[in-house]
Amino acid sequence: MSDKKNVLIIGGHGKVALKLAPLLVRDGFSVHSLIRNPDQSEDITKTGANPVVKDVASLTAEEWDELLIGVDAVVWSAGAGGKGGTEATYAVDRDGAIASIDAAQRSESSPRYIMVSFWGSTTVDLPEDNSLYHYSLAKRAADQHLLDSSLDFAILAPTALTMERAKGIDVHTVEDTANQERPADTSRELVAHVAAYEVEAPTAPNKIIPFADGDSQLGDALG
């Protein structure tokens, strides 16, 4: 295990985050899961994480700074999820993510930053009539901000997500996301395992990692 101790999961009640928290707790991390709805606190506690009730869309820079004191790794797994329309999508998926990246850069603890994104976020241009058009623009802006940052990071770019059990992984290149048809789907459980791997790895890859369900072992594919 790496020397990372305190992990902040932003979007702690998401399907990936609820699978990630127990993995990190099992491996000895102190996990804090940020949620907006206090009614979700019990679900967070069941994972072994500590619930932190905050709204990422309304935090000030000072509140972000306070939130990240002593944090060794940040995992962004939040999303508006289509609730609240276009305005909420940009407020959470773009502005909230960018604010957290800026706070991480200001933090004395220099946390590693793991962004849960999606396949082709920086390479695939969706048409305006696509239901994910505004989401894709928001995520692209956030991902690019992280790419341009001074942080150690990993941007996870899975294909369409499922609730299937994790088996193996198939890792691709960013060029693949622009030049080839999207491969198989990706289980959320696999995304959680990849996020945990990148939190715990001795060094951060500092790149986008496109991946899907496959046949390779995690350590072989990512190491």
Tell me the pTM.
0.95
Domain regions of the chain by residue span: 6-222
| pLDDT of residue 180 exceeding 90 | no
- In tens, the pLDDT along 77-93 reads 999 876 778 999 999 99
Residue-wise pLDDT tens digits, 91-121: 999 999 999 999 999 999 999 999 999 999 9
Q: Give the span between the Cα atoms of 91 and 171, in whole angstroms.
A: 31
Task: Return mean pLDDT, the chain.
Answer: 95
The mean per-residue pLDDT over the stretch 159-175 comes to 96
- The span from the CA of 73 to the CA of 112, in Å, is 5
Query: Chain centroid to CA 40: how far?
Result: 19
pLDDT in tens, 1-38: 445 699 999 999 999 999 999 999 999 999 999 999 99
Residue 214's contacts (CB-CB under 8 Å, 6 or more residues apart) are 168, 169, 170, 171, 184, 221
Domain 6-222 has CATH 3.40.50.720: yes
Largest CA distance in the chain: 46
Q: Which two tokens stand for residue 26?
A: 């099992």
Which distant-in-sequence residues (6+ apart) come within 8 Å of 206 by Cβ? 152, 153, 154
The label of the residue with tokens 């945990």 reads 196
Rounded CA-CA distance 6/30 in Å is: 5
Residue 210 pairs in a beta bridge with 157
